[in-house]
């Protein structure tokens, strides 16, 4: 299964919100939050969707300003995971961060999501710290960083 990536638009929000609510049931972003993120494209944001057979199966977003970038979000439909879509989305965000001149990139990942943690570690992210009870349901967040000059 090969995913095609393209820039996210407001027309994608119904499909993206479905994935958002399924992936993050306790702390899903609102549609208004995602609209605000899209309003900042391309100035400080870069959001993409992943399509398989014309269906949106995942999405990801980047914040980049100055020499730092942050992975805002990555989500893939549960039945499409472990097929390289998350890795393709992350690769796109890293490429864009470098293109924008970022020296390092940061993210938070749920402490109870070992699959996502493993993917980030495969991409060279290292653990920085822990944000206790960061998520709405009380789950901790692991903060991670990658040096983009390495």
Res 1: pLDDT: 63
Q: Please pick, among 120, 121, 134, 136, the residue that the annotation labels catalytic.
A: 120
Q: Is 120 a catalytic residue?
A: yes
Neighbours of 62 (CB within 10 A): 29
Is 68 a residue whose pLDDT tops 90?
yes
Q: What is the band of 30 on the pLDDT scale with cuts at 50, 70, 90?
A: very high
pTM (2 d.p.): 0.92
Q: Please pick, among 20, 55, 108, 136, the residue that the annotation labels catalytic.
A: 108
Q: Is 135 a catalytic residue?
A: no
Average confidence score pLDDT of the chain: 94
Res 78: pLDDT: 87
SS3 per-residue string spanning 36-81: HHHHCCCCCEEEEEEEECCEEEEEEEEEEECCEEEEEEEEECHHHC
Res 45: pLDDT: 97
Give the bridge partners for 56, in sequence order.
51
Res 149: pLDDT: 82
């Amino acid at each position: 299964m090969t995913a095609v990536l393209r820039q996210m638009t407001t027309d994608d929000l119904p499909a993206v919100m479905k994935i958002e609510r399924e992936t993050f049931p306790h702390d899903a972003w609102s549609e208004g939050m995602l609209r605000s993120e899209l309003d900042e494209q391309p100035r400080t944001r870069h959001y993409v969707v992943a399509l398989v057979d014309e269906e949106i199966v995942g999405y990801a977003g980047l914040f980049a300003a100055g020499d730092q970038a942050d992975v805002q979000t990555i989500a893939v439909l549960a039945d499409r995971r472990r097929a390289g879509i998350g890795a393709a989305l992350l690769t796109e965000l890293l490429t864009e961060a470098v293109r924008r001149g970022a020296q390092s990139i940061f993210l938070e990942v749920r402490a109870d999501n070992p699959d996502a943690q493993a993917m980030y570690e495969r991409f060279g992210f290292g653990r920085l710290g822990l944000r206790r009870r960061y998520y709405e349901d009380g789950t901790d967040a692991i903060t991670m960083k990658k040096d983009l000059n390495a």
